[in-house]
């Protein structure tokens, strides 16, 4: 837009311009360097863990064996959180964009933003001290009546600090971001498509199914993936809610739960020494790579579709 | 067009163009009946309030579509079902918000007094102390993060809008900044630790590291919001300045930035609100202590989120004292975040460019 002026007119470049332009370019480069720095420094500090023995890895014979249960827990918790959050988020986003009157929709938007503003440590505190105990009766009921489903095999936790509780808290935390992006995209549906559907006699739901959803499909996918990235890396809620024992199990309501990479780092970093620290940093590198790939893919889908977020 | 305006042919005259509809007050009526029925069941079976609401909503979700199916048609029934479902989803989303705020206020408000804000936890065993040291640490570390992030973020935004425009480097920066917003906070903490270990040796703890870690999370937010604001500045303003012979850099500093100032300040305040509650990176690099530490470059530094975390996970021998303090600190933290959010709006209004007439 404004860069053509150098070519067209002024033959000599002013010193001020040169300095300022390079200053801004340097700032941009700093960001790229910082991102590269994250990968480089985590790799440097993480390398010793890849060759470490069982005595430094809590009995695990190699780093892969050490990190696998954590990775499993991370993926399980994030997947559960998404399964809860995405349908809810689409519902809330639809309310805001297509169901609620304008004024109420604005209010709902503020309240959802408020949900995003609450610090994660407060969610952790609430999840551990309030929500967990409240869910115990539900878990006992599930263990009594639905224990033939592997997810609810039981025995039910007596504190409620299970991976299902952690996933519910995670779902609440990723809800705002998924809602915000879905809402933006729903609102951008071409008005003519919607009105055409209504003019043909479609009910509101048929209009949404025929004109809004097809238009928003890639947007919803990327919103869910951004939520996934958030859920994979969220630390405090899991660390404070989950009573983790590092097992690999699909049992969601018992008192022995898989831990997650992020929560494991937060819980054990303060007491770790020597190679253990390197192992934690290396597991952080694994987490970084996974979330980077997920976010990269999500942003790529967004940038490819014509919808702007 | 004209054919549509024509009078409908005689053949259609006797066909009703409307089908039967439920009255407008049907959903309200069904909702009231559902709650009444559920309440009656609750009286008989002794349920709690949660069960009453759940059962009432289930009754509503079944009865209204059924009624609609009978009177209207299948398509309307599905429509009404989905409408109900969407509103239920909204309600479900607000349950945790209300519950969380209510719990934090109920548990946290009683411990807030002068001592809570002016004492640290130094040499305090078995009695209530204060969070002065944590508040100081949070303010210093967040200020440090802002001092690092705002110049870098703002300059990058200027590069993206004014210089880079559509160049390859600008679009890759824009893309990677978006990706960066998704970096887990704990990874930012590990990065700061790995970086500082190289210079200061293993086991390093200092407030500055917390600032670096938080700035990694804050920079992308500042870049994105500032970029949006700079884009809103009309090109006319820039071209008017160029036409007067003003150098480009001076145009940016004197014309573009002041015009976008309100939005930029709002964005920065929101970014601060976003990172001030971060816990995980500070747990790793800033550590925790019971004393007040004003030095960002030396020793461990307590912060509010870390204080909450340790009061909860390691309450020591007196959980009956540590727990309420955790809730109290959580309430203070939420209030700080809310005040920052309000401040962002107010500052945006104050610094809004004066529109000339």
Distance from CA of A222 to the nearest CA of B (A): 12
Under CATH, what is the fold of the domain A14-304?
A: MetI-like fold (1.10.3720)
Q: Per the CB < 8 Å rule, is B99 touching A130?
A: yes
Question: Environment class of residue A300 by beta-carbon count within 10 Å: exposed (0-12), middle (13-18) or buried (19+)?
Answer: middle
Q: Give Cβ neighbours of residue A164 (< 8 Å, ≥ 6 apart).
A: A80, A135, A139, A252, A253
Lowest mean pLDDT among A72-86, A144-158, A224-238, B215-229: A144-158
A162 contacts A139 by C-beta, under 8 angstroms: yes
B153 contacts A229 by C-beta, under 8 angstroms: no
Q: A232 contacts in B (CB within 8 Å)?
A: 184
Q: Per the CB < 8 Å rule, is B103 touching A1?
A: no
The DSSP letter of residue B351 is T
- Structural domains of chain B in order of their starting residue, each with its CATH number: 19-110 (no CATH), 118-350 (1.10.3720.10)
Please choose, from the candidates B43, B83, B45, B44, the residue with its C-alpha nearest in 3D space to the C-alpha of residue B61: B83
Distance from CA of B281 to the nearest CA of A (A): 9
Work out the angle between the directed axes of helices B132-158 and A15-50 (0-180°, nearest 10): 120
Would you say residue A1 has pLDDT above 80? no
**CA B156/CA B163 separation, integer angstroms:** 10
Q: Number of A to B CB contacts under 8 A, please give it.
A: 278
Question: Environment class of residue B149 by beta-carbon count within 10 Å: exposed (0-12), middle (13-18) or buried (19+)?
Answer: buried
Question: Taking CA atoms, what residue in A is nearest to B282?
Answer: A266
Question: Environment class of residue A38 by beta-carbon count within 10 Å: exposed (0-12), middle (13-18) or buried (19+)?
Answer: buried
- Interface confidence, given as ipTM, is 0.87
* Secondary structure element (H or E) that encloses residue A239, with its range: helix A236-241
Work out the angle between the directed axes of helices B26-45 and B49-71 (0-180°, nearest 10): 140
Distance from CA of B78 to the nearest CA of A (A): 8
Please choose, from the candidates B217, B281, B218, B184, the residue with its C-alpha nearest in 3D space to the C-alpha of residue A233: B184
Question: Taking CA atoms, what residue in B is nearest to A228?
Answer: B182
Mean pLDDT across chain A: 86
The DSSP letter of residue A55 is G
Sign of the C-alpha dihedral computed for residues A285, A291, A292 and A293 taken in this order: positive
Q: Per the CB < 8 Å rule, is A119 touching B337?
A: yes
B2 in contact with chain A, both atoms CB, cutoff 8 A: no
**CA B316/CA B154 separation, integer angstroms:** 45
Collapse the DSSP code of A272 into the 3-class scheme (helix H, G, I; strand E, B; otherwise coil) and give the result. coil
**CA B110/CA B190 separation, integer angstroms:** 36
Residues shown for chain A: 309
Q: Per the CB < 8 Å rule, is B100 touching A122?
A: yes
**CA B159/CA B177 separation, integer angstroms:** 13
Q: Which of B90, B148, B180, B273 to mutate to test the interface with A (most CBs of A within 10 A)?
A: B90
Q: State the pLDDT at residue B55.
A: 86
Question: Taking CA atoms, what residue in B is nearest to A12?
Answer: B247
Q: Kindly report the CA angle at A253 between A248 and A254, in degrees rounded to 5? A: 65
Please choose, from the candidates B337, B327, B218, B323, the residue with its C-alpha nearest in 3D space to the C-alpha of residue B277: B337
CB atoms near residue B126 (< 10 Å)? 8
- Strands (E) in A19-103, as ranges, are none
In DSSP terms, A244 is beta-bridged to A257
pLDDT tens string for chain B (357 positions)? 444 445 555 555 555 666 778 888 888 888 888 888 888 888 888 777 788 888 888 888 888 888 888 888 888 889 989 999 999 899 888 899 999 999 999 999 998 888 888 888 887 777 788 899 999 999 999 999 999 999 999 999 999 999 987 888 898 999 899 888 889 999 999 999 999 988 888 888 899 999 999 999 999 999 999 999 999 999 999 999 999 999 999 999 999 999 999 999 999 999 999 999 999 999 999 888 888 888 888 888 999 999 999 999 888 788 888 889 999 999 999 999 999 999 998 988 888 776 654
| Average pLDDT estimate for A83-94 | 94
CB atoms near residue A197 (< 10 Å)? 19
- CB-nearest to B191 from A42, A205, A280 is A42
Cis before A155 (ω within 30): yes
The DSSP letter of residue B127 is S
B164 contacts B155 by C-beta, under 8 angstroms: no
- Residue-wise pLDDT for B282-336, tens only, equals 999 988 888 888 888 888 899 999 999 999 988 878 888 888 999 999 999 999 9
Collapse the DSSP code of B243 into the 3-class scheme (helix H, G, I; strand E, B; otherwise coil) and give the result. helix
Would you say residue A20 has pLDDT above 50? yes
Q: Give Cβ neighbours of residue B172 (< 8 Å, ≥ 6 apart).
A: A32
Residues 68-97 of A with CB under 8 A from B: 87-92, 94-95
Mark out the alpha helices in B235-279 (DSSP H runs): 235-243, 248-251, 257-275
Residues shown for chain B: 357
Tokens of A65: 């064996």
B346 contacts B257 by C-beta, under 8 angstroms: no
Q: Per the CB < 8 Å rule, is B99 touching A229?
A: no
Q: Per the CB < 8 Å rule, is A121 touching B308?
A: yes
Distance from CA of B191 to the nearest CA of A (A): 5
Q: Per the CB < 8 Å rule, is B99 touching A27?
A: no
- CB-nearest to A25 from B159, B176, B305 is B159
Residues 232-291 of B with CB under 8 A from A: 235, 238-239, 242, 247-250, 252-253, 273-274, 276-280, 283-284, 287
Distance from CA of B340 to the nearest CA of A (A): 10
Question: Taking CA atoms, what residue in B is nearest to A96?
Answer: B90
Tokens of B161: 């809008």
- CB-nearest to A125 from B172, B183, B308 is B308
Mark out the alpha helices in B201-318 (DSSP H runs): 207-232, 235-243, 248-251, 257-275, 280-285, 304-313
- CB-nearest to B155 from A27, A90, A294 is A27
Question: Taking CA atoms, what residue in B is nearest to A113?
Answer: B341
Q: Which of B142, B194, B224, B254 to mutate to test the interface with A (most CBs of A within 10 A)?
A: B194
Question: Taking CA atoms, what residue in A is nearest to B203?
Answer: A273
Q: A299 contacts in B (CB within 8 Å)?
A: 175, 178-179
Q: State the pLDDT at residue B307.
A: 93
Q: State the pLDDT at residue B270.
A: 92
Distance from CA of A299 to the nearest CA of B (A): 7
Q: State the pLDDT at residue B1.
A: 42
CA B31 to chain centre: 33
Q: A17 contacts in B (CB within 8 Å)?
A: 247-249
CB atoms near residue A273 (< 10 Å)? 9
Q: State the pLDDT at residue B24.
A: 83
Domain ranges of chain A: 14-304
**CA B130/CA B243 separation, integer angstroms:** 60
**CA B216/CA B284 separation, integer angstroms:** 15
**CA A88/CA A297 separation, integer angstroms:** 23
Tell me the pLDDT band of A4, cut-offs 50, 70 and 90. Answer: very low
CA atoms within 13 Å, Cβ hemisphere of B178: 21
Distance from CA of B317 to the nearest CA of A (A): 18
**CA A268/CA A56 separation, integer angstroms:** 13
Q: Give Cβ neighbours of residue A128 (< 8 Å, ≥ 6 apart).
A: A161, A240, A241, B312
């Amino acid at each position: 837009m404004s860069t053509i002026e150098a070519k067209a007119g002024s033959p000599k470049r002013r010193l001020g311009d040169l300095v300022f332009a390079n200053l801004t370019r340097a700032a941009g480069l700093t960001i790229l360097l910082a991102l590269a720095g994250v990968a480089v420094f985590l790799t440097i500090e993480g390398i010793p863990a890849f060759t470490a023995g069982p005595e430094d890895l809590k009995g695990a014979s190699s780093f892969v064996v050490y990190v696998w249960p954590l990775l499993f827990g991370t993926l399980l918790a994030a997947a559960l959180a998404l399964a809860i959050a995405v349908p809810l988020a689409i519902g809330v986003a639809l309310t805001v964009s297509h169901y609620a009157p304008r004024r109420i929709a604005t209010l709902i938007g503020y309240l959802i933003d408020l949900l995003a503003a609450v610090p994660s440590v407060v969610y952790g505190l609430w999840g551990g001290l309030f929500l967990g105990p409240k869910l115990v009766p539900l878990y006992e009921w599930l263990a009594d009546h639905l224990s033939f489903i592997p997810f609810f095999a039981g025995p039910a936790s007596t504190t409620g600090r299970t991976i299902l509780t952690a996933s519910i808290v995670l779902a609440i935390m990723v809800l705002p971001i998924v809602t915000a992006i879905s809402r933006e995209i729903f609102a951008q549906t071409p008005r003519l498509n919607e009105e055409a559907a209504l003019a043909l006699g479609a009910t509101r739901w048929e209009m949404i199914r025929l004109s809004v959803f097809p238009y928003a499909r890639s947007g919803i996918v990327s919103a869910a993936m951004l939520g996934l990235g958030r859920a994979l890396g969220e630390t405090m809620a899991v660390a404070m809610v989950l009573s983790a024992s590092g097992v690999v199990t699909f049992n969601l309501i018992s008192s022995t739960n898989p831990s997650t990479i992020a929560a494991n780092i937060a819980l054990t970093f303060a007491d770790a020494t020597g190679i253990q620290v390197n192992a934690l940093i290396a597991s952080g590198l694994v987490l970084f790579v996974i979330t980077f790939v997920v976010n990269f893919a999500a942003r790529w889908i967004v940038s490819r579709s014509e919808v702007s977020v | 067009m004209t054919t549509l305006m024509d009078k409908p042919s005689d053949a259609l005259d006797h066909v009703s163009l409307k089908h039967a509809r439920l009255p407008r007050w049907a959903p309200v009526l069904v909702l009231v009946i559902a709650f009444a029925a559920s309440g009656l069941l609750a009286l008989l079976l002794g349920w709690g309030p949660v069960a009453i609401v759940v059962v009432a909503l289930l009754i509503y979700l079944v009865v209204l579509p059924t009624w609609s199916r009978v009177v209207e048609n299948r398509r309307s029934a599905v429509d009404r079902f989905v409408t109900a479902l969407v509103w239920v989803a909204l309600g479900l989303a607000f349950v945790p918000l209300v519950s969380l705020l209510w719990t934090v206020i109920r548990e946290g408000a009683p411990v807030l007094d002068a001592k809570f804000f002016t004492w640290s936890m130094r040499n305090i065993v078995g009695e209530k102390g204060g969070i002065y040291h944590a508040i100081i640490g949070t303010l210093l570390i967040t200020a440090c993060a802002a001092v690092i992030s705002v110049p870098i973020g703002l300059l990058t935004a200027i590069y993206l809008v004014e210089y880079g425009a559509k160049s390859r480097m600008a679009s890759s920066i824009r893309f990677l900044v978006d990706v960066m917003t998704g970096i887990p906070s704990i990874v930012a903490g590990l990065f700061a630790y790995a970086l500082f270990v190289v210079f200061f040796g293993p086991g390093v703890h200092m407030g500055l590291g917390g600032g670096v870690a938080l700035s990694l999370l804050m920079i992308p937010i500042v870049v994105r919001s500032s970029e949006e604001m700079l884009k809103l500045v009309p090109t006319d303003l820039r071209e008017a300045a160029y036409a007067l012979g003003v150098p480009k850099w001076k145009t940016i500093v004197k014309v573009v930035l002041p015009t976008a100032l309100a939005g930029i300040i709002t964005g920065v305040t929101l970014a601060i609100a976003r990172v001030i509650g971060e816990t995980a990176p500070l747990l790793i690099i800033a550590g925790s202590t019971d004393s007040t530490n004003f030095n960002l470059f030396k020793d461990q530094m307590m912060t509010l989120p870390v204080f909450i975390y340790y009061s909860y996970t390691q309450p020591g021998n007196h959980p009956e004292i540590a727990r309420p303090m955790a809730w109290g600190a959580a309430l203070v933290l939420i209030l700080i975040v809310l005040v920052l959010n309000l401040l962002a709006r107010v500052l945006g209004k104050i610094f809004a460019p004066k529109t000339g007439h």
